[in-house]
Amino acid sequence: MQTTEDIKKIIEENLAVMLYFSAPTCNVCHALKPKLVDAVLSNFKEFEIVSIDTSINQEIAANFSVFAIPSVLVFLGGKEFLRKSRHMSVDEVVREIKRPYEIMTL
């Protein structure tokens, strides 16, 4: 069982972290997740991806102010850098992460 403290520790200990909030009843979540995970891991070596099921972990979702699914939060250097909810494309997420990630890993 994940806790907010566990996730915050992952964010602190890793250069780049993506939190993916979804639920079993969300068809968009299930279609988007494998494509997004593959694109992020293909383009960025040092990314930790954490999936959070909002139907089980409502407290974690509330702690991160996530009230819609799917939602993606990207943390770079321990700070929230990107937040996307509902309508997003894989290319859009990768494009927005690319430059700051490259600067951090030079």
Return the residue matching tokens 């079993």.
24
**What integer pLDDT is reported at residue 91 of this predicted model?**
95
**What integer pLDDT is reported at residue 1 of this predicted model?**
65
- Model pLDDT for residues 38-86, shown as the tens digit of each residue: 999 999 988 999 999 999 999 999 999 999 999 999 999 999 999 999 8
CA-to-CA distance for 65 and 42, rounded, in angstroms?
28
At residue 3 the predicted structure's pLDDT band, cuts being 50, 70 and 90, is very high
pLDDT at 106 over 90: no
Bridge partners, residue 52, by sequence: 21
Return the residue matching tokens 């939060």.
73
- Model pLDDT for residues 16-48, shown as the tens digit of each residue: 999 999 999 999 999 999 999 999 999 998 899
CA-to-CA distance for 69 and 84, rounded, in angstroms?
10
